[in-house]
């Protein structure tokens, strides 16, 4: 039986599924808007119904962060976001220091949008820049150019935002180490508080997967990463997760909650939740219907929840490690017990194996991936995967 001694922190994820067009590398639940005006008001109403339906599952718990992701949430007006956040505030218990992030695409935003979001209570922006090189942006199928990205960053600051993340990719089709580093230098000049710098990976069910572009070779990509990490450190961006870098005190609390295996409720089309029920000693995952129009109809009913799964002990161990080992500074041993409800002794065998293979270090206060463990993170995580035969 799983034993939970204290409540897990809880975040709220809100999915807005529409984009101007689908990018060839994107495997998120996004749908090209078909030219007609978006059903903003209907969708906000559906989200509120969905939340009310889910309230019983999180009753009384305090929300530490909200993340409005997509799709392209910045297709929604400031007014719509305002209405949404007001409705949430009226129904939920917000932590006074709550972090509220919204994802913005430089191609869909102007000064008015940013003022609206800020006024609505959004206090963190994540801007999907991806690159400052117009050739690369075209290859990625982005709807904006480098100049638009810079204008968006300036407009966001002018609107009052002082907690901004830039999403940036490397290992792009045709990219050299020089141009990857140049991208980072420009990003650093813009002085955001946080940079998510991640390697382009070709995911199944994307346009790139069916027609793969020519990517730089592995040695080149590793070179980019090594130079880039030095540059980011020199400018005060601390590396705290595989692809996340932050200035002091500006780590993304919402994402940290994922990586520290906290709870989250996801509302909106295709949103995923992971919720711990200390009373019934179990942890459940479920997801909402992916298609926006069906979601609009079904939100607020059982039928909007399409898949549900109670996690086994083996699932919990693996999923905890899949997240927590991404953290550069590792995690406290207590965190495992607190988040999984399982005593640490139960995983002493795989912990020992990972240590013996020099992928992991531990002392009384910390369990932490070694430099080698960070480099071969998938091999490290695989230590915690039970064989199918033994799991049955």
Partner 1 sequence: MENIRNFSIIAHIDHGKSTLADRFIQTCEGLTDREMQEQVLDSMDLERERGITIKAQSVTLNYQADDGTTYLLNMIDTPGHVDFSYEVSRSLAACEGALLVVDAAQGVEAQSVANCLTAIDQNLEVLPVLNKIDLPSAEPARVKKEIEEIIGLDTGQTIEVSAKNGTGVKQLLEQMVRVFPPPKGREDAPLRALIIDSWFDNYLGVVSLVRIMDGELPVRKKMRVMSTGRDHEVTEVGVFTPKRTPRQRLRTGEVGYVVASIKEIDGVPVGDTLTLAEQPATEPLPGFRTIQPRVFAGLYTVDSSDYESFREALGKLRLNDAALHYEPETSQALGFGFRCGFLGMLHMEIIQERLEREYDLNLIITAPTVVYEVLTTAGETLYVDNPANLPERDKISELREPVVQADILVPQDYLGNVITLCIEKRGRQKRMQYLGNQVSLAFELPMNEIVLDFFDRLKSVSRGYASFDYHFLRYQAANLVKLDVLINSEKVDALSSIVHSDHIQRYGHALTAKIKEFIPRQMFEVAIQAAVGSKIVARTTVKALRKNVTAKCYGGDITRKRKLLEKQKAGKKRMKQFGSVEIPQEAFMAILHVGKD
The window from 36-44, 55-63, 150-158, 315-323 that contacts partner 1 (CB under 8 A) reads 315-323
Contact 381, 326 (CB under 8 A): no
What is the size of the binding site for partner 1 (CB under 8 A)? 38
Binding to partner 1 by CB under 8 A, coded x per residue (else -) over 27-46, reads xx------------------
CA distance 229 to 270: 34
Under DSSP, is residue 195 helix (H, G, I), strand (E, B) or coil?
strand
The CB-of-275 to partner 1 minimum distance in angstroms stands at 12
Nearest-angstrom CA–CA distance, 336 and 8: 12
Report d(CA 57, CA 35) in Å as an integer: 37
Identify which range of 34-42, 157-165, 276-284, 369-377 contacts partner 1 by CB under 8 A.
369-377
Cβ closest to partner 1, residue 303 vs residue 391: 391
| One of 34, 248, 378, 390 touching partner 1 (CB under 8 A) | 378
Separation of alpha carbons 183 and 217, rounded Å: 19
76: helix, strand or coil: coil
Cβ proximity to partner 1, 181 vs 382, nearer residue: 382
* Rounded distance between C-alpha atoms, residue 194 and residue 187, angstroms: 10
Tell me if 245 sits within 8 A of 197, measured CB to CB.
Answer: yes
Q: Is 14 helix (H, G, I), strand (E, B) or coil?
A: strand
Q: Which of 47, 66, 246, 381 binds partner 1 (CB under 8 A)?
A: 381
Please state at what angle helix 177-189 crosses helix 218-234, rounded to 10 degrees: 20
Site string for partner 1, 318-357 (x = CB under 8 A): xx--xx--x-------------------------------
Asked if 369 touches partner 1 (CB under 8 A), the answer is no
Q: Which stretch binds partner 1 (CB under 8 A): 39-47, 79-87, 193-201, 231-239?
A: 193-201
Q: How far is the CB of 59 from partner 1 (least distance, A)?
A: 21
Contact stretch for partner 1 (CB under 8 A) within 117-125, 126-134, 290-298, 316-324: 316-324
**Which of 148, 368 has the CB closer to partner 1?**
368
Q: Checking DSSP bridges between strand 244-246 and strand 238-241, what pairing results, if any?
A: antiparallel
Task: Tabulate helix, strand, coil % of the chain (nearest 5).
Answer: 45, 25, 35
Q: How far is the CB of 332 from partner 1 (least distance, A)?
A: 20
Measured from the CB of residue 137, what is the shortest distance to partner 1 in angstroms? 19
385 binds partner 1 (CB under 8 A): yes
Encoded tokens for 49: 């119904």
Of 68 and 159, the one with the shorter C-beta distance to partner 1 is 68
Q: Answer for the pair 261, 320: CB distance below 8 angstroms, yes or no.
A: yes
Applying CB under 8 A, the span of 31-39, 93-101, 271-279, 328-336 interacting with partner 1 comes to 271-279
Q: Return the structure tokens found at 222.
A: 């590793």
Three-state SS letters, 281-311:
CEEEEEEECCCHHHHHHHCCCHHHEEEEEEC
- By CB under 8 A, tell whether 87 contacts partner 1: no
- Whether a cis peptide bond, with omega within 30° of 0, leads into 71 is yes
Q: Where are the beta strands (DSSP E) in the chain?
A: 10-16, 18-19, 31-32, 62-70, 93-104, 124-130, 164-170, 194-199, 238-241, 244-246, 263-268, 272-277, 282-288, 305-310, 360-362, 367-369
Task: Pick between residue 13 and residue 161 the one whose CB is nearest to partner 1.
Answer: 13
Q: Does 57 bind partner 1 (CB under 8 A)?
A: no
Judged by CB under 8 A, does residue 243 bind partner 1? yes
Q: With H, G, I as helix, E, B as strand and everything else as coil, classify residue 85.
A: helix
Among 182, 272, 284, 290, binds partner 1 (CB under 8 A): 272
By CB under 8 A, what part of segment 195-224 binds partner 1?
A: 198-201, 218-219, 221-222
Cβ nearer to partner 1, comparing 250 with 274: 274
User: Which residues would be at the binding site for partner 1 (CB under 8 A)?
Assistant: 13, 27-28, 198-201, 218-219, 221-222, 242-243, 255, 258, 264, 266, 270-272, 274, 285, 287, 318-319, 322-323, 326, 372, 374-379, 381-382, 385
């Amino acid at each position: 039986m799983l034993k939970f001694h204290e409540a897990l922190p809880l975040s709220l994820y809100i999915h807005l599924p529409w984009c101007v067009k689908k990018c060839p590398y994107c495997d998120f639940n996004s749908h090209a808007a078909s030219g007609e005006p978006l059903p903003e008001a209907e969708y906000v109403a559906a989200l509120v119904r969905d939340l009310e339906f889910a309230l019983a599952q999180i009753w009384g718990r305090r929300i530490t962060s909200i993340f409005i992701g997509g799709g392209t949430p910045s297709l929604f007006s400031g007014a719509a976001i305002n209405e949404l956040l007001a409705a949430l505030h009226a129904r939920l218990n917000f932590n006074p220091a709550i972090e509220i992030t919204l994802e913005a695409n430089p191609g869909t935003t102007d000064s008015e949008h940013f003022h609206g979001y800020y006024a609505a209570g959004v206090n963190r922006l994540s801007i999907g820049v991806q690159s400052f090189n117009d050739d690369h942006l075209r290859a990625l199928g982005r709807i904006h150019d480098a100049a638009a990205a810079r204008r968006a960053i300036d407009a966001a600051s002018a609107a009052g935002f002082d907690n901004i993340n830039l999403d940036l990719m490397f290992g792009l089709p045709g990219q050299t180490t020089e141009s990857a580093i140049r991208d980072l230098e420009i990003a650093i000049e813009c002085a955001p508080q946080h940079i998510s710098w991640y390697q382009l990976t070709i995911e199944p069910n994307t346009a790139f997967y069916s027609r793969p572009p020519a990517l730089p070779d592995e040695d080149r990509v590793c070179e980019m990463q090594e130079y880039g990490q030095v540059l980011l450190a020199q400018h005060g961006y601390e590396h705290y997760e595989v692809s996340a870098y932050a200035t002091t005190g500006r780590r993304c609390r919402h994402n940290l909650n994922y990586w520290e295996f906290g709870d989250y409720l996801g509302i909106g089309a295709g949103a995923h939740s992971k919720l711990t029920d200390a009373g019934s000693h179990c942890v459940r995952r479920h997801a909402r219907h992916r298609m926006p129009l069906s979601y609009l109809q079904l939100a607020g009913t059982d039928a909007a929840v399409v898949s549900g799964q109670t996690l086994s002990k083996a699932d919990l161990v693996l999923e905890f490690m899949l997240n927590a080992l991404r953290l550069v500074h590792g995690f406290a041993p207590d965190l495992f017990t607190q988040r999984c409800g399982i005593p640490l002794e139960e995983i002493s065998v795989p912990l020992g194996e990972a240590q013996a293979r020099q992928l992991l270090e531990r002392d009384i206060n910390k369990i932490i991936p070694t430099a080698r463990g960070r480099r071969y993170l998938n091999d490290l995580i695989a230590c915690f995967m039970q064989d199918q035969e033994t799991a049955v």
